[in-house]
Amino acid sequence: MTHRKPRPGTPVPDLLPDRPTLPKVRDVAKDCKACDLYKTGTQTVFGEGPSRAEVMFVGEQPGDVEDLAGHPFVGPAGKLLDRALAQAGIDRSLVYVTNVVKHFKWEPRGKRRIHKKPRVSEIKACRPWLEAELRAVKPSVIVCLGATAAQSVIGPQFKLMANRGTVIPSPLGEQVVATIHPSAVLRAPDSEGRKQAYDSLVADLKVVARLLRKPR
């Protein structure tokens, strides 16, 4: 597939193809420069998974490993998510994973690239990619990983720790469940904190597993 490279600042809706199939949308997203994050990230890290996945997991943004690999959730947090999904009884191969922002935003700390939270304007600029993914995949359940994803999908007033693990409708989907981002488990200060955070993640994912088992 070929298309003309967009100028910096061209908004995402102007890039979307007439018939926005997932492969076409993924292809044009490679050249997105709708916000300045294309300058910090190595490449667009688009969502991946079955084109008709029953469940779509939405995180904040690709991390350091994902940025270099060009694939979402393949770093340490992704590996932890894989383990939590297996424990909750969700088949990882049936899951579509993506992020609300598709380029890695970071700041240097010594030789390391440290995650930096995206601005509201960056999340807004990138949102049409997520909406296009949702229109194409049509998952019956959306799972938001972390507050940034949850506030983007459910609404800016959403309080993650008060409402995590419950089924909430949103403008983007009838069944949305929010939980912590797996990187929050890795960031817990000690092994007891990590265990508690991990167990709570698995408990929320079991809510998702039950939704997926429900007959439609």
Q: Is 208 in the site for ligand SF4 (CB under 6 A)?
A: no
Q: Residues near 163 by Cβ (< 8 Å), separated by ≥ 6?
A: 178
Q: Which residues of 155-166 are buried (b: 16+ CB within 10 A; e: fewer)?
A: eeebebeeebbe
Count Cα neighbours of 171 within 13 Å in the Cβ-side half-sphere: 8
Q: Which of residues 26-45 bind ligand SF4 (CB under 6 A)?
A: 29, 32-35, 37-38, 44
Binding-site size, ligand SF4 (CB under 6 A): 16
Which one of 22, 58, 103, 152 is in contact with ligand SF4 (CB under 6 A)? 103
Which one of 102, 145, 149, 152 is in contact with ligand SF4 (CB under 6 A)? 102
CB of 186 to ligand SF4, least distance (A): 23
Q: Residues near 32 by Cβ (< 8 Å), separated by ≥ 6?
A: 6, 12, 15, 38, 44, 102, 129
CA of residue 96 relative to chain centroid, distance: 9
String of contacts with ligand SF4 for each residue 116-135, x by CB under 6 A: ------x--xx--x------
Q: Is 181 in the site for ligand SF4 (CB under 6 A)?
A: no
Q: Which CB atom, from 26 or from 164, has the smaller least distance to ligand SF4?
A: 26
- Contacting residues toward ligand SF4, per CB under 6 A: 12, 29, 32-35, 37-38, 44, 101-103, 122, 125-126, 129
